[in-house]
Chains A and B, each alone.
Chain A
């Protein structure tokens, strides 16, 4: 019944509803990308950070090319206004009864298709490529790498995404997961393993997410005769409950998809999906010079160089480890591209070690400045930020082209930033702000436009420059935690 024959026209392709989780604040950006790449209109869920859209099952490879999406799932059923019973017992019983009544067939078909895509990708890659792990790169690159590698965190399991050449990276744990998926996905009578993940939000529910997952999961198990396995599962069933909105889905991606370009992590590596959203905000144009003066591991410039190749990216940081990690991440992507052999592998990106308050760049030479500024709590300290922000903003204004230049700055320290910005009216004008959620911390992405006045002509510039020593030590402490 669940046949995968794609040669049978008409029968094999059907419409499905897809769900995707995206960085909160960037739902519209993701919806735009869906419209552009899939021609589908996306609906933004009341449950923040989720969008839904319909597509043909044939479009599955395209879906994996979306850059603004963290996780993907197929919707089995959506209840816009689910009527929960009053007692916990009755509510949970209802959920159990639900399992056997849901339209599982098509969603599971998509899940199977997705596995086939994943396997094809993996096989092709496995045939060409030996799998070096990050530390072995050190042998080739020179002695300096040794120090950087001991600090490197181990890579989380990252599954491959079909359709996007540049995205592959080391996947040790993934090998095991794919192993277990193979028994089930091939259509042999192997027993599938599954788990249920329940996200619940709302204050009127009589049950917890664990209870819902447990009872719903039990019924799913009965119905399919699958085996429950919390860690090595083939199928992940999602039960998302947000007040009266209930969505049941089947996951197509595994967790922690966010760091797709990064093989060498740092303490605060930014999600690639968030980097993508920030880049979209500033709309990189042909020949734009785009700098990230606090690049950390290079997540933002690297995402830019992959997705908007017609611009030029300069990644900079004052910290040794950061620049080394950035160079390692770029080298890693270059190697992958070389291995694919699909034409010129080099990317328009370069790395410099610099102090952001004294940028070694000519005045008015940069079109866009885009960066993740140190958060008071995650990195650096709030006190430092008071001194750092005004110096930053001033130096960034100097190198940025008046009139046409832009800045896209992510910061959690909104008060400090707003204060610093209020004194820069002659240099920067606030254009737009997106509020985001970074690991539980509420942050803002500020889009600024560079005022048309040349640097050195506004009252702000004629102020005595702040003690660069103070700013430099602030910069050096950045990687302390």
Chain B
């Protein structure tokens, strides 16, 4: 699971209103190499929840020096965009779980795949 994916995932257990962001517990993380496209990153940033991204990066131990607040004029800041690129696309959680912040329900992550299926009584 890449952190860009995590930024879009939310808990949808019945009755939950604040199911975002899911809390990450990672037991195995890997870093891959993905081609850097500055346009992709700068256009993706407005679609993200920045604080959730920072929190996720910290939870998987890859915060490094990613700023907690978005830098102004980030579109032209290549160094910054590269950091964001790494965190969005290159850091992957292979094993672990996602926890709903409201209900505590855990969704397992195995082989990089988060299993978000609900049981009958939760749906």
B-binding residues in A (CB < 8 A): 141-142, 144, 286-287, 289, 309-310, 312, 314, 318, 323-324, 327, 334, 343-348, 350-355, 358-362, 365-366, 468-469, 472
Contact = CB atoms under 8 A, between A and B. Distances in A.
Interface residues of B, number: 35
B17 interface: no
Nearest to A354: B116
Given A144-B110, A287-B40, A344 B115 contact: no
B35 A343 contact: yes
B89 to A, nearest CB: 6
B12 A346 contact: no
A309 B35 contact: yes
B118 A352 contact: no
Interface of chain A: mostly helix, strand, loop or mixed? mixed
B8 A362 contact: yes
Contact of B111 (A141, A287, A289): A141
Interface in B20-53: 20, 32-37, 39-40, 43-44, 47
Given A347-B34, A352-B9, A312 B44 contact: yes
A346 B33 CA distance: 5
Contacts of A346: 32-35, 89-90
Interface in B55-101: 89-90
B76 to A, nearest CB: 16
Contacts of B47: 287, 289, 365
A72 to B, nearest CB: 29
Given A346-B89, A365-B8, A355 B118 contact: yes
A144 B9 contact: no
Contacts of A324: 111, 113
Contact of B33 (A344, A348, A358): A344
27 contacts: A142-B111, A144-B110, A286-B39, A286-B40, A287-B40, A309-B35, A310-B40, A312-B4, A312-B40, A323-B113, A327-B113, A334-B32, A344-B34, A344-B36, A347-B34, A350-B2, A352-B5, A352-B116, A353-B116, A355-B118, A360-B9, A360-B11, A362-B20, A365-B8, A366-B8, A468-B123, A469-B123
Contact of B118 (A323, A348, A358): A358
Contacts of A314: 5, 8
A234 B69 CA distance: 63
Interface of chain B: mostly helix, strand, loop or mixed? mixed
Interface of B: 1-2, 4-5, 8-12, 20, 32-37, 39-40, 43-44, 47, 89-90, 107, 110-118, 120, 123
Contacts of A327: 111-113
Nearest to A359: B12
Nearest to B123: A468
Contact of A286 (B37, B89, B117): B37
A353 B34 contact: no
Nearest to B108: A353
A421 B11 CA distance: 28
A351 B113 contact: yes
A58 B1 CA distance: 43
Contacts of B8: 289, 314, 361-362, 365-366
A345 B33 contact: yes
A151 to B, nearest CB: 16
A142 B107 CA distance: 20
B69 to A, nearest CB: 21
A437 B9 CA distance: 35
Nearest to A328: B111
Given A286-B43, A347-B34, A360 B116 contact: yes
B117 A353 contact: yes
A349 B4 CA distance: 10
A472 B119 CA distance: 10
A362 B22 CA distance: 12
A362 B11 CA distance: 9
A365 B48 CA distance: 9
A351 B44 contact: no
Nearest to B22: A360
A379 B73 CA distance: 50
A351 B35 CA distance: 19
A365 B10 CA distance: 11
B53 to A, nearest CB: 13
Contacts of B33: 343-346
Nearest to B31: A346
A77 to B, nearest CB: 45
Nearest to B120: A469
Contacts of B10: 360-362
Given A314-B8, A350-B1, A469-B123, 5 more contacts: A287-B39, A314-B5, A324-B113, A353-B117, A355-B123
A310 B117 contact: no
B113 A352 contact: yes
Nearest to A361: B8
B48 to A, nearest CB: 10
Given A144-B110, A343-B35, A362-B10, A355 B117 contact: yes
